Chain A
């Protein structure tokens, strides 16, 4: 497992405890009491460490290479997943994956951005940065859900839509814009979850939903802190300061009334316990589907409109 810089002291303590255990075993000395005390202290330290993370440290957890990906969540939460490929216009973007599956007996269309855990995988998934064709594939699947009256679940973990030459030539901006507009017209419940990075229009392109959740250590922002720092501070090394200023944490967004709830992560982050985060996420999604399922389409759409309509702060 990759250990983050700020976690090093914690792992050093844990290593020392392990060493102590080995010594006591080989020498026959009874140090159970000392070990217990140390473990208790280590636990306290761990709790305190993760309760007081800076936005920049949480950013590292959100981007952790072991963090569960879309396909991990599909495995953890759903049964009978069948992937539905392609945009029907010449492309099957791998940065956005979608399909049909069951969550606890409820059929859903589930769509998400996919990241890799290794460089090799990331080259396949383009580091979770979709092309316009990815958004168009998602849109095709939104219409599919609408046609068969299936709830839509989107899981988002992207550093942003891909800024490339071909992406511009095939209208990245238009692809995202059309998703925003068309999601407003859908008659079925939509639940969006930011699971890792929720960066800019690339994330929003899958997130015009009735319920929007964030995983505890995920972030959601108009621009990456690095991008913001290099534009506003003209200094990319000011990313930590930008991360603070941009108010990107799940708690910030709940307070700003942008999201509907936070999905609690295991201590240390989602990568520390796949089972637990899978269950937490699954129960959050199921609860929302239950709440939204029986709302008449007209009201559902109206509520969705009003949800985004009231966002923004200004003087009058």
Chain B
């Protein structure tokens, strides 16, 4: 064996060993998750049992709409409504990929058919109408379907004379539906006007993240506005603002705490206390 061969052999062995290491890492990945906030390696099961909140640093991970519904509603009481409403592609929109393809991919990824689930259910025995958004479905963006299902949920609240709860998680409007998505802001806000006129309680829960057209419509129109701990909430995105004003923004800009300081929300709730907070609020508003 020449010295050169020896080096080659060593290199190959190293490559083989590294490949094996990544394999081990993969199997670990199924059981373990890393907290983005404190960098701790956490047992996935433990995190899930803790409502997807880091047991070490209390950081609230993003959760999808189904998980949220399970956490918020009395077991077995949530009935999904309007689930048959699905996305069209009215503008035949194509950017780097066709909108239709993006929708198909989002459906496969999330096992949802759009970025919101509407329905009725019970919170500690109180019947409420609800719209719960899902950030995993195209960034929770609001197109025609989201706007329609949020509005229908509000109209259901009107029909049944029950409180309305909206849980938001959205990057903003669905650009692929252009002006039609902009009009969903008007549509949902007009529906809130009707809730107001009927004297029905409307509570919004702003979760990580809530931005753009959702912030500038039904999300911030709650009679009571609750921000979930660790949520970031705003109208314009951080980068857009930094580019416009050409200065960097404080680290806590657009966090729930920041919004609280500026009087934009009624309260911040931890995930663990969210259900009981909502339930208390509903009971307190009963006459």
CB–CB B86/A314 < 8 A:
yes
Asked if B187 and A309 sit within 8 Å, CB to CB, the answer is yes
CA distance A182 to B221 in the complex (A): 10
**Is the Cβ of B253 less than 8 Å from the Cβ of A165?**
yes
Q: Does A258 contact B (CB under 8 A)?
A: yes
Chain A residues near B193 (CB-CB < 8 A) = 181-182, 184-185, 305
Interchain CA distance A42-B90 in the complex, whole Å: 39
Closest to A301 in B: B193
A221 touches B241 (CB 8 A): no
Surface stretch bound by A, among B47-55, B67-75, B172-180? B172-180
Q: Which residues of B contact A304 (CB under 8 A)?
A: 190
How close is B146's CB to chain A, nearest CB, in angstroms?
A: 9
**A173 on interface, CB distance cutoff 8 Å:** yes
- Closest Cβ of chain A: how far from B90's Cβ, in Å? 4
Which of chain A's residues have a CB closer than 8 A to the CB of B189?
A: 177, 180-181, 184, 208
Q: Does B126 contact A (CB under 8 A)?
A: no
Interface pair B91/A247, CB less than 8 Å apart: yes
In angstroms, Cα B147 to Cα A309, docked, is 10
Collect the chain A residues with CB atoms within 8 Å of residue B217's CB.
Answer: 176-177, 180, 201
Of the 9-residue stretches B3-11, B58-66, B92-100, which lies at the interface with chain A?
A: B92-100
**Contact (Cβ within 8 A) A222 B178:** yes
Q: How many Å from the CB of A250 to the closest CB on chain B?
A: 11
Given the known A-B contacts A170-B262, A305-B190, are A165 and B245 also in contact in the complex, defined by CB atoms under 8 Å?
A: yes
Taking the nearest CB of chain A, how far is it from the CB of B133, in angstroms?
Answer: 15
Q: B264: which of A174, A185, A223, A246 is its contact (CB, 8 Å)?
A: A174
Judge whether A284 is part of the interface by a CB distance below 8 angstroms. no
The residues of B that contact A242 with a CB separation of less than 8 Å are 95
Question: Could you tell me the distance between the alpha carbons of A245 and B84 in the complex, rounded to whole angstroms?
Answer: 28
In order of increasing CB-CB distance, the 9 nearest A-B pairs are A163-B236, A312-B144, A180-B189, A173-B215, A173-B235, A184-B193, A313-B90, A232-B95, A311-B183
B197 pairs with A185, CB closer than 8 A? yes
Q: Is there contact, CB below 8 Å, between A222 and B192? A: no
Contact A176 B236 (CB under 8 A): no
Partner of B216, one of A172, A227, A311: A172
- Tell me if B84 and A316 are in contact (CB < 8 A): yes
A248 interfacial by beta-carbon distance below 8 Å: yes
Contact mask A146-185 → B, CB, 8 Å, 1/0?
0000000000000001111101111111101110111011
Beyond known contacts A161-B235, A200-B182: 13 more, CB 8 A cutoff:
A165-B241, A171-B220, A180-B186, A184-B193, A207-B186, A232-B176, A234-B96, A308-B187, A309-B151, A311-B183, A312-B180, A314-B87, A316-B84
Q: Please, which residue of chain B has its CB at the minimum distance from the CB of A253? A: B179
How far is A194 from B227 in the complex, measured between Cα atoms in Å?
Answer: 35
A157→B77 CA distance, assembly (Å): 48
B179 contact from A164, A180, A208, A258, Cβ within 8 A? A258
Partner of B148, one of A163, A200, A227, A312: A312
Q: In the complex the two chains form, what is the Cα distance from A259 to B144 in whole Å? A: 17
Judge whether A82 is part of the interface by a CB distance below 8 angstroms: no
Give Cα A309 to B186, complex, Å.
Answer: 8
Contact A171 B178, beta carbon cutoff 8 Å: no
Q: What's the dominant secondary structure at chain B's contact region?
A: helix
CA distance A233 to B95 in the complex (A): 6
A142 at interface (Cβ–Cβ under 8 A)? no
Q: Mark B197-231, 1 if CB is under 8 A from A, else 0.
A: 10000000000000011011111110000000000
| Residue of B94, B187, B218, B240 ringed by the most chain A CB atoms within 10 A | B187
**CB contact between B88 and one of A177, A207, A314 (< 8 Å): that residue:** A314
CA distance A316 to B113 in the complex (A): 12
Residue on A nearest B189 in the bound complex, by CB: A180
Q: Which B residues are in CB contact (< 8 Å) with A161?
A: 216, 235-236
Q: Decide yes or no whether A220 CB sits under 8 A from chain B.
A: yes
B194 contacts A by Cβ under 8 Å: yes
Question: Could you write out 17 A-B pairs with CB less than 8 Å apart?
Answer: A163-B236, A164-B236, A168-B253, A174-B216, A181-B196, A184-B193, A201-B182, A201-B212, A204-B186, A223-B175, A232-B175, A245-B94, A246-B91, A258-B180, A305-B193, A313-B177, A315-B87
Residue of B nearest to A132 (CB): B235
Shortest C-beta distance, B266 to chain A (Å), equals 12
Q: Is there contact, CB below 8 Å, between A204 and B87?
A: no
C-alpha gap A309/B154 in the complex (Å): 12
Answer yes or no: A228 CB below 8 A from chain B CBs: yes
Q: How far is the CB of B94 from chain A (nearest CB, A)?
A: 7
Minimum CB–CB distance from B24 to chain A (whole Å) comes to: 35
Inter-subunit contact B180/A311 (CB<8 Å): yes
- Set A172, A246, A308, A314: member contacting B186, Cβ < 8 A: A308
Q: How far is the CA of A234 from the CA of B95 in the complex (A)?
A: 10
Does chain B have a CB within 8 A of A29?
no
Which residues of chain A are near B220, meaning CB under 8 Å?
171, 173-174, 177-178
CB of B218 within 8 A of CB of A177, answer yes
- A162-B216 Cα distance, complex, nearest whole Å: 13
Q: What's the Cα separation between A8 and B241 when bound, in Å?
A: 36
Measured between beta carbons, the chain A residues less than 8 angstroms from B218 are 177
Is A231 an interface residue when CB atoms closer than 8 A count as contact?
yes
Q: Does B181 count as interface, using CB distance less than 8 angstroms?
A: yes
User: Closest CB-CB distance, A220 to chain B, in whole Å?
Assistant: 6
